[in-house]
Amino acid sequence: MNRYADPASVRELVRPDRIHRDVYLDQAVFDLEMSHLWRNAWVYVGHDSQVPKVGDFYTAQIGREPVIMVRGNDSKVRVLPNRCAHKGTKLVSAQHGKCQGGLLRCPYHGWIYRLDGTLRSVPLKGGYSEEVQADALHGIGELNSHNYRGFVFVRLAAQGQGFQEFFGESLTSIDNMVDRSPEGRLEVAGAALRYMHDCNWKMYVENLNDAMHPMVAHESSAGTAKRLWDATAPGSPKPMVIEQFTPFVNDYEFFEKMGVRVYPNGHSYTGVNFSIHSKYSSVGEYEQRMYAAYGEERAKAILAEARHNTVYYPSLTIKGAIQTIRVARPVAVDETIIESWTFRLVGAPEEMLARTATYSRLINSPTSMVGHDDLHCYRAIQEGLSSASSDWVSLHRNFSAAESETVAGTYGATNEAPMRGQYRAWLDLMTRSESAVP
């Protein structure tokens, strides 16, 4: 029996201004996250441009659920359990590909499904009674999914919050990322950088809107880049890599004034007023193409919105201003895969994609000097928290007892409000009664 099976014991782990270390360390808590939180939340699966044609599929693991994102004969993108209704064999094992003949055929006994998850045929079907044929042979079913401007999410629980209700106004960050394409369309540009993090998934998610760490953790990388550039070519135009590195070591005042907005259900974004991306040089004809597409006033408004990181709790973090996303895929209590995807702004000059690809590599790759120090800190927390000197992890910074139940609001960005908001959501998603498998 899971020692946290009683919701009352889970509630003991979260206080308004602190959390118990078990949320990062305990296998029983992780098991509950898999069976509750990752099933009750709307979790990012993939982008519909990864399956451009009928029969194209992409596979992912959502919590413990292996899923297939597939484009059906009606062009609709669906998310199906990647599990044969017979013996449970995964129907497809490749990361992505095309369903032969527009059907999903189990590699073991040849059960065949249509792209909407319904069963098409079973070899020697007569071996099953008419009763079983009527009741049991109904296919693998379709999961609750929602395609928001190309971004496909799934809620594994049969009942629960609707998509719009769960994300609410935080969807404006996806809007801004898509609107940055002169055609209002994004395309995934190739494969993801996949970075194995030997830490709990929440350390990564919390860090995205932690504005108190860059000037400390990234001094050795971004600070060195800034110093070398200042010494070699003072005043000359910065190469793209220097432009991308140096704002990481801006001062506390910069990060405080950038601002953070916290939404209900754990979502938030930093960069309400400006961000580390605000001062990037313009690239080629991009701005002209945006003016032509939207009119100058509207285009300028889109480009002026340069949000830093938006967290779509618990799985997706995006940087619309530089067209990259990072996806957290928990593997174990102390193991998480972080995927970084780069996007093409359809209709924009190709140099924009080079800028995106450069940023992903510099900041999000397993070879990233910035990433090395972030992951070092997450691992150091994972190891440090085994200390029995305290059970509690502090989220006190700028805490006020008057904070609303969801912590929603706009704050100076060095506030730990986004993390407090995440743990209110965490508790809610962990203790909702409805987590039934559809």
Q: Which residues of 187-213 are buried (b: 16+ CB within 10 A; e: fewer)?
A: bbbeebbebebebbbbbbbbbbbbbee
Give the residue, chosen from 146, 358, 393, 412, that forms a contact with other proteins under the rule CB under 8 A.
358
In whole angstroms, the minimum distance from the beta carbon of 189 to other proteins comes to 7
In the range 86-125, which residues lie near other proteins by CB under 8 A?
95
CB atoms within 10 A of CB 249: 21
Number of residues that bind other proteins (CB under 8 A): 44
Is there a contact between 204 and 336 (Cβ–Cβ < 8 Å)?
A: yes
Residue closer to other proteins by CB (options 95, 164) is 95
Distance from C-alpha of 150 to C-alpha of 152, rounded to nearest angstrom: 6
Binding mask 363-382 for other proteins (x = CB under 8 A): --xxx-x-xxx-xxx--x--
Backbone angles phi, psi at 334, to 5 degrees: -125, 30
Examine residue 360 and tell whether it contacts other proteins (CB under 8 A). yes
Q: Quick check: 318 binds other proteins (CB under 8 A)?
A: no
| Residue 343 engages other proteins in binding (rule: CB under 8 A) | no
Q: 112 forms bridges with which residues in the sheet?
A: 105, 121
The minimum distance between CB 360 and other proteins, in angstroms, equals 5
In degrees rounded to 5, what are phi and psi of residue 315? -110, -30
Phi first, then psi, for residue 135 (nearest 5°) are: -95, -45
Tracing tokens 């509750």 back to the chain, one arrives at: 36
| 245 binding other proteins? (CB under 8 A) | yes
Nearer to other proteins, 106 or 205 (CB): 205
Site string for other proteins, 201-240 (x = CB under 8 A): ----------------x-xxx-xxx--xx---------x-
Amino acid at position 76, single letter: K
Going by C-alpha positions, the residue among 402, 436, 435 that lies closest to residue 420 is 402
Cα separation, 330 vs 76, in Å, equals 28
Between 141 and 366, whose beta carbon lies closer to other proteins? Answer: 366
Dihedral in degrees, nearest 10, Cα atoms 22, 23, 25, 27 = 100
Restricting to residues 180-199, name those near other proteins by CB under 8 A. 189-191, 193-196, 198
Interface residues with other proteins (CB under 8 A) are 95, 189-191, 193-196, 198, 217, 219-221, 223-225, 228-229, 239, 241-242, 245, 337, 340, 342, 350, 353-354, 356-358, 360-361, 365-367, 369, 371-373, 375-377, 380
